[in-house]
Amino acid sequence: MMTSRKYTSKALLLRTLLLFAAAAFLIPVASAQTTASLTGTVLDNTGAVIPNTQVILTDENSHDRRELTTNSSGFFNFAGIKPGTYTVDITASGFQKLEQTGISVNPGDTRNLSALTLTVGSSNEQVTVQAAIGEIAPEDSGERSALLTANDIRRLTIQSRNISELLKILPGVTTTANGVGNGPGFNFNDASSSGSAIGVGLSTNGAPYRGGTAYLLDGASIIDPGCACWSIATVNPDMTQEVKVQTSNFGADAPQGPIVVNAISRSGTASFHGQAYMYVRNGVLNSNTWQHRRTCAHPWHKLQ
């Protein structure tokens, strides 16, 4: 009897381990929402494709290079590239070299470069094209998204050291009421080692209060799985490069949703540099809120 129970327990443990192993292989990765892809077709002046053309992609900050050759249809595809600003150099025998600079790539983008036309001439000659800056809407996908760039993060006023506070300025983002006081569910004056307004105080496009928004930091989910709220890390605005909020119509390769908040940390460059800063915070310097002054009976609190 005891032996039978032992075998049953071992079999149950083995089945459990196999289920966990299978689940690990079936869980999709979030890299598609962190990285981007860049495609294009190289043509000549007559509109004919140019096969076997050398294409070099260079990160303008880190100077990392990736190189490939166009296929028989003149098509190329750089997949899994990090967000940043890039330069594309295209070289073909008998044609002038084409350089396109300032190509901005954001998390989850699927961008197709247009106007990649080579002019007949010496390979020592070069044509440089500056990419358009400040794309209003994505032209290569039907997704709806909003982007907070490093300039936005630096210039916008923020109470806390929590990047999720800035989401309240985006269209479609509302504050979720909490309790009979109808106040926000998250207090940005609070300073703690963890926490976010996602899944607690802010709602995007009517997404469910908890579990309707994914919060990714460099591709890793930081939402507390126990309650589908708060976060296990506070994303510091000083160390954030950009934040992309995908609200709808993004591709099926994105395993998260229905709302995805994707924060990308700052990365290094080819030139050595550094910075130092100090942030001091003390609650005694905070001013009282309007709601607290009206609800608190103590006269000292009403004077603050």
List the single range of 80-94, 124-138, 213-227 with lowest mean pLDDT: 124-138
- Mean of the pLDDT values across residues 241-253? 78
Q: What is the pLDDT of residue 251?
A: 65
More confident residue, 166 or 126: 166
| pTM (two decimals) | 0.66
Q: What is the pLDDT of residue 22?
A: 47
Q: What is the pLDDT of residue 89?
A: 94
Three-state SS across the chain? CHHHHHHHHHHHHHHHHHHHHHHHHHCCCCHHHHCEEEEEECECCCCCECCCCEEEEEECCCCCEEEEECCCCCEEEEEEECCEEEEEEEECCCECEEEEEEEEECCCCEEEECCCECCECCCCCEEEEECCCCCCCCCCCCCEEEEECHHHHHHCCCCCCCHHHHHHHCCCEEECEECCCCEECCCCCCCCCCCCCECCCEEECCCCCCCCEEEEECCEECCECCCCECCCCCCCHHHEEEEEEEEECCCCCCCCCCEEEEEEECCCCCCCCCCCCCCCCCHHHCCCCHHHHHHCCCHHHHHC
pLDDT, tens digit (0-9, with 9 covering 90-100), for 170-196: 888 887 665 444 555 556 655 555 567
Q: What is the pLDDT of residue 38?
A: 92
- Mean of the pLDDT values across residues 46-65? 92
More confident residue, 67 or 292: 67
- The tokens for 185 are 């569910």
Q: What is the pLDDT of residue 256?
A: 73
Q: What is the pLDDT of residue 12?
A: 60
pLDDT, tens digit (0-9, with 9 covering 90-100), for 20-55: 444 444 444 444 567 888 999 999 989 999 999 999
More confident residue, 256 or 238: 238
Of the pLDDT bands very low, low, confident and very high (cuts 50, 70, 90), residue 138 is low
Q: What is the pLDDT of residue 51?
A: 93
Of the pLDDT bands very low, low, confident and very high (cuts 50, 70, 90), residue 137 is low
Q: Which amino acid is at 139?
A: E
Beta-ladder partners of 98: 90, 127
Phi, psi of 271 (to 5 degrees): -100, 135
166 and 149 Cβ atoms separated by less than 8 Å: no
pLDDT, tens digit (0-9, with 9 covering 90-100), for 254-298: 667 788 888 998 877 777 777 777 767 676 776 776 766 776 655
Domains of the chain: 35-130 (2.60.40.1120), 144-275 (2.170.130.10)
